[in-house]
């Protein structure tokens, strides 16, 4: 997004000023004085940023608003660390964008608004490698599908891609978040068509920022039958030298998240140890030892992470595992932080973060009605 024309400067500056004031009021009064009015001020700022297509600022405000809501509800999942990070990030983005607007600094404006660069791709043959899940009760359920290109064409074979699906959640309807994956997208397919091990042909799609798959109204996603499963060990191989090169070239900034410097890793012959309890964050941390080092998987103690905990607890009793454990790796507090996504064993791939997909169809229909 380029700098707005001069006749829109006042509207943009006013919105950014409201964001700055809302954040400063919260920082001055402190969490103990946070109220419904404080949440409303952040929520209004989020709506305004979204309407103006400030996606980065809007996402940051949304997370800060959700965290503030958890604090006022006395939700045990509230994280002071997460709240402070995103609230400060919102302030820095708003102040930086205001400065760029005042100075007419195009480069700073583009850097802070962070709009993705997209290109069209006519046809892709893809296979699902893994799916991650993030649920904020009463707010949204987000799923990220990790995919691999199957054959050379518009993109080289083996190219990793990511496709996301986000669903708003109602507070008065109780259905498993996984049930939403049975709901057809605008293109007519169900997200379950992209689960691990399933192949599909995608046409008329777009790729944003080199790795994110986006679908338009005219896009099609059709099942694809494979003669034999791919060699997952080769396809999901972790290249430590390339990861080290990316780390050495990284220049951290106040806007970065640990998970943004991320690698896809496949662990063979792994061993899971007894978890450590992290009371402050309501989490468990499992040590996972692979052939090339020690990793740590941090898992929530709530119902949404029940499936993943069950698998890790079972593996902790049987050592080592013969299959391939695929997931995402980032670097946090001098640890290899590992997020398990899929187990490739003798019976085929298992999506570790998803619970059973059994649900009440009537409840799901009710959950999708927001009017």
Q: Which residues contact 253 (CB under 8 A, 6 or more apart)?
A: none
Can you tell me which residue has the tokens 């190219």? 159
pLDDT at residue 371, rounded to an integer = 45
The CATH number that domain 232-351 falls under is 2.40.50
Tokens read off for 273:
């140890």
Q: Which helix (H) or strand (E) holds 298?
A: strand 293-300
pLDDT at residue 189, rounded to an integer = 93
Is residue 279 over pLDDT 70? yes
pLDDT at residue 366, rounded to an integer = 63
Is residue 340 over pLDDT 90? yes
To the nearest 10 degrees (0 to 180), the angle between helices 80-103 and 9-29 is 150
Within 13 Å and on the Cβ side, how many CA atoms surround 134? 9
pLDDT tens for 71-109 read 888 877 777 888 888 889 899 999 999 999 899 888 888
- In this prediction, residues 329-338 reach a mean pLDDT of 90
Quick count: other Cβ atoms within 10 Å of Cβ 65? 25
**pLDDT over 90 for what percent of the chain?**
34
Query: Please, what is the average pLDDT of the chain?
Result: 85
Query: Nearest to residue 146, comparing CAs of 134, 160, 133, 166?
Result: 160
**Position 284 confidence tier, pLDDT thresholds 50, 70, 90:** very high
pLDDT at residue 282, rounded to an integer = 79
Q: State the alpha helices, DSSP H only, in 165-320.
A: 232-235, 240-249, 306-316
pLDDT at residue 51, rounded to an integer = 79
pLDDT higher at 214 or 49: 214
Cα–Cα distance, 84 to 18 (Å, whole number): 19
Tokens read off for 364:
């799901």
pLDDT higher at 117 or 359: 117
pLDDT at residue 111, rounded to an integer = 81
Cα–Cα distance, 89 to 240 (Å, whole number): 31
Its sign, for the CA torsion 304, 141, 161, 187, is positive
Q: Which residues contact 72 (CB under 8 A, 6 or more apart)?
A: 34, 35, 36, 39
**Position 360 confidence tier, pLDDT thresholds 50, 70, 90:** low
Cα–Cα distance, 183 to 177 (Å, whole number): 11
To the nearest 10 degrees (0 to 180), the angle between helices 55-72 and 36-51 is 160
pLDDT at residue 299, rounded to an integer = 93
Cα–Cα distance, 358 to 179 (Å, whole number): 7
* Residue 184 Cα distances to 133, 146, 151, 165, 268, angstroms: 18, 19, 26, 11, 35
Radius of gyration of the chain from Cα atoms? 22
- In this prediction, residues 25-49 reach a mean pLDDT of 77
Q: What pTM, to 2 d.p., does this model score?
A: 0.82
**pLDDT over 70 for what percent of the chain?**
92
pLDDT tens for 170-213 read 777 677 888 889 888 989 999 999 999 999 999 999 998 778 99
SS (H, E, C) 120-178: EEEEEEEEEEEEEEEEECCCEEEEEEEEEECCCCCCCCCCEEEEEEEEECCCCCCCCHH
pLDDT tens for 9-22 read 888 888 899 889 88
At residue 8, φ and ψ (nearest 5 deg) are: -105, -5
- In this prediction, residues 219-235 reach a mean pLDDT of 90
pLDDT at residue 326, rounded to an integer = 96
pLDDT tens for 124-177 read 999 999 999 988 776 778 999 999 999 888 889 999 999 999 888 777 767 788
Q: Which residues contact 14 (CB under 8 A, 6 or more apart)?
A: none
Is residue 370 over pLDDT 60? no
Is residue 308 over pLDDT 90? yes
pLDDT at residue 44, rounded to an integer = 82
- Selecting from 2.40.50, 1.10.3470, 1.10.600, 2.40.360, what CATH number does the domain 118-228+359-367 have? 2.40.50
């Amino acid at each position: 997004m380029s700098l707005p024309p001069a006749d829109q400067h006042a509207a943009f500056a006013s919105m950014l000023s409201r964001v700055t004031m809302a954040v400063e009021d919260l920082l001055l009064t402190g969490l103990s004085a946070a109220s419904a009015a404080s949440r409303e001020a952040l929520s209004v700022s989020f709506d305004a940023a979204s309407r103006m297509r400030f996606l980065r600022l809007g996402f940051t405000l949304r997370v800060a608003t959700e965290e503030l809501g958890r604090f006022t509800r006395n939700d045990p999942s509230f994280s002071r660390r997460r709240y402070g990070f995103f609230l400060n990030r919102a302030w820095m983005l708003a102040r930086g964008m205001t400065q760029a607007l005042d100075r007419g600094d195009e480069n700073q404006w583009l850097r802070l608004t962070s709009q993705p660069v997209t290109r069209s791709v006519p046809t892709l043959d893809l296979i699902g490698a893994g799916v991650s899940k993030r649920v904020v009760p009463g707010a949204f359920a987000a799923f990220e599908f990790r995919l691999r290109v199957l054959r050379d064409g518009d993109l080289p074979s083996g190219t990793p891609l990511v496709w996301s699906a986000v669903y708003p959640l109602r507070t008065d309807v109780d259905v498993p978040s996984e049930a939403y994956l049975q709901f057809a997208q605008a293109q007519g397919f169900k997200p379950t068509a992209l689960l691990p091990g399933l192949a599909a042909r995608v046409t008329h799609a777009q790729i944003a920022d080199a790795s994110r798959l986006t679908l338009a109204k005219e896009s099609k996603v059709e099942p694809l039958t494979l003669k034999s499963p791919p060699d997952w060990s080769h396809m999901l191989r972790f290249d430590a030298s390339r990861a080290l090169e990316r780390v050495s070239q990284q220049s951290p900034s106040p806007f970065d998240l640990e998970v943004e410097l991320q690698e896809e890793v496949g662990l063979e012959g792994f061993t899971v140890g007894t978890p450590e309890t992290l009371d402050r964050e309501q989490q468990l941390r499992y040590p996972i030892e692979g052939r090339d080092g020690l990793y740590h998987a941090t898992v929530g103690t709530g119902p949404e992470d029940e499936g993943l905990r069950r698998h890790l607890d079972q593996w902790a009793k049987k050592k080592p595992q013969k299959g391939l454990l695929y997931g995402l790796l980032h670097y946090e507090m001098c640890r290899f932080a590992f997020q398990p996504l899929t187990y490739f064993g003798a019976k085929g791939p298992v999506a570790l973060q998803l619970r059973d997909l059994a649900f009440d169809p009537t409840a799901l229909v009710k959950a999708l009605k927001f009017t």
